Amino acid sequence: MARSDDHTGARIKEQRKLARLTQRQLADRIPYSYSLLNQVECGAKPATIDLIAAVAHALRIDVTVLTGQPYVTELQQDRLAVLVRPIREALDLYDLGADDTIEARPVALLVTAADQLCAEVRATRLRSAAMQLPTLIAELTSAVWRSPCTELWRALASTYRTAHDITVKLGYYDLSSVALDRLGWAAHRASDPCLDGLRQYMRALVYFREGDYGVGQRLISSGHGILTAADISRESIAVTGQLHLGASVIAARAHDSHAVETHLSEAAGHARRIGDASDVHWLSFGPTNVALHRMSAAVEMHRYDDALAQAKKLKPQLPSALATSRRAHFLVDRARSEMETGRAEAALSSIIEARRTAPEQTRYHPGARETIKGLVHLSRRTPDSLGHMAAWIGL
């Protein structure tokens, strides 16, 4: 397969030169070797997500500048790009009051509709959720301005959270940040500390993706502080536990193994108290998600053999009710670990299974795309199945 200049390494090289840095100077600013950076820039090795984040942080640019997100060509092919503008417009009309042309449904139906959209995203039906989202945001916005109540503010906050989830998965990180601002705006009016804590968790993951782990940890701490105002309940315990899970992967990316174990231990304790709480804000929190984050932390710390050992134990134990989005993420983590340990055929099999499980999510997942690119580089003779996967992501 011909090697294209349109790859992450080439974009790193371009941005490095714009910053007037040599390869050695950039390598001195990131926790990766000059040799690896050189191989990534020339396309001999794929750029891992953590390396991309480190380079973006060092160069003070957005990660998307290096990953090429959003992947517009593929989004247009999947007829997803045209769904983004209506979401952007819906997020922008939050402060205009009620729209006289909109007749909102009863409160109970609106709350149910907001919950169903969360379920659609967890099932990775992104197109379906994106199509419904702008209308529901508009309807809820009009309803809550006409008759403000906690239930409606919470439902509106939920739709803003869905907007964040969809735009992140499609690579529109700038728009996802707007959605989080709107989530905070609605959560404040709902006087709901759990929603505020949830927002801090999501904000922390923004900085995790961008390689600013210090700010990410501060946001996690802020989330814990906010939750001190909440009554102790199944909901507050689940959000607290999820904050610890977010902190564990941030610490893993920062190679702080002690902090990883501390946060995973705290999360496990909360999971034991309440058991499976997948229904709480659709966070998938519970013992299974703690185990999945332990594996993800191993991947982030480049302990790939450990990650694969955990994956082997996890796979037969994954409950059938596990969110499709979470199952696909597990498969992408496993594929990366298999590739990094020289198990190319197994890695390809895992990526194909991820595609079969959640095609829209996998196609736009930077980790999945970099793994496919890595497999292409490793392969002396590109098998048909790998060739199809490479073409699928536009390589």
**Domain presence at residue 155:** no
Domain-located, residue 8: yes
Residue 218 to residue 254: CA distance in whole angstroms: 14
**Residue ending a domain, choose from 68, 92, 108:** 68
Of the three residues 47, 68, 89, the one that is the final residue of a domain is 68
| pLDDT value of residue 4 | 54
How much is the pLDDT for 381?
Answer: 58
| Predicted pLDDT at 294 | 98
CA distance 139 to 137: 5
| Containing structural domain, residue 372 | 323-395
Cα separation, 49 vs 296, in Å, equals 13
Identify whether 388 is part of a domain. Answer: yes
264 vs 293: CA distance, rounded Å: 8
Place of tokens 């989330």: 223
pLDDT of residue 231: 94
**Is residue 299 assigned to a domain?**
no
Question: What does the pLDDT profile of the chain (395 residues) look like in tens digits?
Answer: 334 566 899 999 999 999 999 999 999 999 999 999 999 998 888 888 899 999 999 999 999 999 999 988 889 888 888 999 999 999 999 999 999 999 999 999 999 999 999 999 999 999 999 999 999 999 999 999 999 999 999 999 999 999 999 999 999 999 999 999 999 999 999 999 999 999 999 999 999 999 999 999 999 999 999 999 999 999 999 999 999 999 999 999 999 999 999 999 999 999 999 999 999 999 999 999 999 999 999 999 999 999 999 999 998 889 999 999 999 999 999 999 999 999 999 999 999 999 999 999 999 999 999 899 888 877 755 567 888 888 888 76
User: Residue 2: what pLDDT?
Assistant: 38
The distance of Cα 128 from the centroid of its chain, to the nearest Å, equals 19
Q: Is 200 exposed, middle or buried (0-12, 13-18, 19+ CB in 10 A)?
A: buried
For residue 259, is it within any domain?
Answer: no
pLDDT score recorded for residue 387 = 80
With respect to residue 305, please indicate whether it lies within any of the assigned structural domains.
Answer: no
How far is 207 from 65, CA to CA, in rounded Å?
Answer: 15
Report d(CA 111, CA 39) in Å as an integer: 51
Distance (Å) of CA 305 to CA 37, 288, 298, 317, 374:
23, 20, 9, 19, 18
Give the per-residue pLDDT at 380: 59
Domain end residue (candidates: 46, 68, 90): 68
Is residue 202 in a domain?
A: no
Gap between the Cα atoms of 120 and 299, Å rounded: 28
* H/E segment holding residue 239: helix 234-253
**pTM as predicted:** 0.90
What is the CATH number for 28?
A: 1.10.260.40
Q: Centre a 10 Å sphere on the Cβ of residue 369 and count the other Cβ atoms it contains.
A: 28
Nearest to 135 by CA among 86, 198, 179: 86
Per the CB < 8 A criterion, the answer to whether 52 and 9 are in contact is no
Distance CA 323, CA 305 (A): 25
Would residue 364 count as lying in a domain?
yes
Q: What is the DSSP letter of 285?
A: B
Is the Cβ–Cβ distance between 241 and 285 less than 8 Å? Answer: yes
d(CA 331, CA 338): 10
Q: How far apart are CA 50 and CA 210, in angstroms?
A: 9
Q: Domain tally for the chain?
A: 2
